[in-house]
Amino acid sequence: MTFFRTHRTAVTVIAFVLTYVVVKLLSVLPLVNGGPLLNGYYIQLIALAGINIVMTVSLGMVNGFTGQFSIGHAGFMAVGAYTSAMITTVWLHTSVTNPWVGYPVFILAILAGGLLAAAAGYLVGTPSLRLKGDYLAIVTLSANELIRTVIRVTNALGGPRGLGGIPKFTNLEVVFVFTIVSVVLMRNYLFSSHGRSMKAVRDSEIAAEATGINTTKQKVFVFVFSAFFAGVSGGVFAHLLQFIHPDNFSFVKSLEYLIYLYVGGSTSISGAIVGPAVFTVLPELMRALQQWRMVIYPLILVLTMIFRTEGIMGAREFRFILIPQRQRKEVSA
């Protein structure tokens, strides 16, 4: 058992690989009536859960850990989705049938989408992060809708008709790698001096300034990298659904991420993983309830907030999220 304590990183990696193998096997082996247990529909659901996790964790960086209040995250997702889809579909006509060309282009395209989303984040964040609380929320929401309006009126992007024919580059492997890499990067940042400064800004901006932190710069940087991850998520999303529409990225979508975050627990990465995972899958589990599903779902939400105000996880983290504590020397002179 000591192995589990001493090699936490290794254990975590093994756990992820095993999860992947199990999901993959369940999606391939003919277990139910000659078909796999997890059919394409479920695989799509798992992929969506992964995308939602990255969206929520990146939103949590801004809202939960830096204490700002952004409610326009889907706008940045839209920027990434459209940028990457334009590159792979309209400009370079890539296809899955030629993966050796397709995948490198796909990866570069979603990164480009992330960068453009980050630039949008910079444009939105720089002037607005000096606004406090609800006003920041409203500016981000407006920016979200403004981005959507721009897409709607731009014919080259498909306008109100949407953009289709996107090659399906996003598969189980892509989602696994993308989710894990993104979450690890953001978790690393959080457990660093910069991450501590984020929380300092959240707890007391005045005191953070007084301890030498350039709070504006810190806030803008978090906002920008959060937008970057939202943009990349958008790219992965576009290449999963193969068709994107401006309405996929309305403020209603942003509010969904807000729900995932606060129900999971905004002040822990674990919460930002649990929230979207549970709330992406839960409505599907309630399929039998038919039209009652969407009535019961918000009730669960309200009850969770009333009885677990801090969200499911609160500020607690899963062990594999935390950085191992180093042993301090006992006495120093």
Partner 1 sequence: MGQFLQQLINGIQIGSIYALIALGYTMVYGIVRLINFAHADIFMVGAYMGFFLAPVMARVFGGAFIPTIIAAMLITGLLGFIMEKLAYRPLRYKSRLSALITALGVSLFLENFCALPFVFTPAFRKFPDLIVARNIPIPGNLGLNISNVLLLDVGVSVILMVLLFWFVNKTLIGKQMRAVAFDKPTASLMGINIDVVISTAFIVGPALAGAGGILYGTTYGMLASPFLGIWPGLKAFIAAVLGGIGNIPGAVLGAYIMGISEAFATSVNSNLGYGIAFAILIGILLVRPSGLLGKFMPEKV
Partner 2 sequence: MALLDVQHLTQFFGGLRAVSDFNIQLEHGEIVGLIGPNGAGKTTVFNVLTGVYTPTKGTIVFDGQNIVGKKTYQITQAGIARTFQNIRLFSQSSVIDNIKIAYHFRMSYGNTDAFLHTRKYWQGEQLVDDYAIDLLRLFHLEGHAEDVSGSLPYGAQRRLEIARALATKPRLLILDEPAAGMNPAEADELMEMIHWLRDKFDLTILLIEHQMRVVMGVCERIKVMDFGETICEGVPEYIRNDPRVCEAYLGKGA
Choose between 72 and 167: whose C-beta lies nearer to partner 1: 72
End-to-end CA distance of the chain: 36
From 13-21, 79-87, 150-158, 206-214, span contacting partner 2 (CB under 8 A):
206-214
From 20-28, 78-86, 148-156, 281-289, span contacting partner 1 (CB under 8 A):
148-156
Residue 156 interaction partner, one of partner 2, partner 1, none, beta carbon < 5-8 Å per kind: none
Residue appearing with tokens 């990465």: 269
The single-letter DSSP state of residue 328 is: P
Of 29-58, binders to partner 1 (CB under 8 A) are: none
Residue 195 interaction partner, one of partner 2, partner 1, none, beta carbon < 5-8 Å per kind: partner 2
From 36-44, 184-192, 194-202, 252-260, span contacting partner 1 (CB under 8 A):
252-260
Give me the least distance between CB of 182 and partner 2, in Å please: 11
Choose between 287 and 328: whose C-beta lies nearer to partner 2: 328
Give me the least distance between CB of 139 and partner 1, in Å please: 6
Among 206, 288, 295, 302, binds partner 2 (CB under 8 A): 206
- Among 68, 49, 48, 50, residue whose Cα is nearest residue 59: 68
CB 65 within 8 A of CB 199: yes
User: Does residue 179 touch partner 2 according to CB under 8 A?
Assistant: no
From 27-35, 268-276, 296-304, 322-330, span contacting partner 2 (CB under 8 A):
322-330
User: Does residue 208 touch partner 2 according to CB under 8 A?
Assistant: yes
Give me the least distance between CB of 126 and partner 1, in Å please: 10
User: Please, which contacts does 307-312 make with residues 24 or more away whose CB atoms are closer than 8 Å?
Assistant: 310/265, 310/267, 311/261, 311/262, 311/263, 311/264, 311/265, 311/266, 311/271, 311/275, 312/263, 312/264, 312/265, 312/271, 312/274, 312/275, 312/278
User: Does residue 124 touch partner 2 according to CB under 8 A?
Assistant: no
Q: Which amino acid is at 238?
A: A
Of 287-306, binders to partner 1 (CB under 8 A) are: 291-292, 294-295, 297-299, 301-302, 305-306
Among 14, 15, 252, 322, binds partner 1 (CB under 8 A): 252
- Among 115, 111, 121, 142, residue whose Cα is nearest residue 59: 121
Rg for the chain, CA atoms, rounded: 21
- Residue 164: how many other CB atoms lie within 10 Å: 13
From 46-54, 77-85, 131-139, 318-326, span contacting partner 1 (CB under 8 A):
131-139
Residue appearing with tokens 């039209």: 291
Q: Which residues, in sequence order, are bridge partners of residue 244?
A: 163
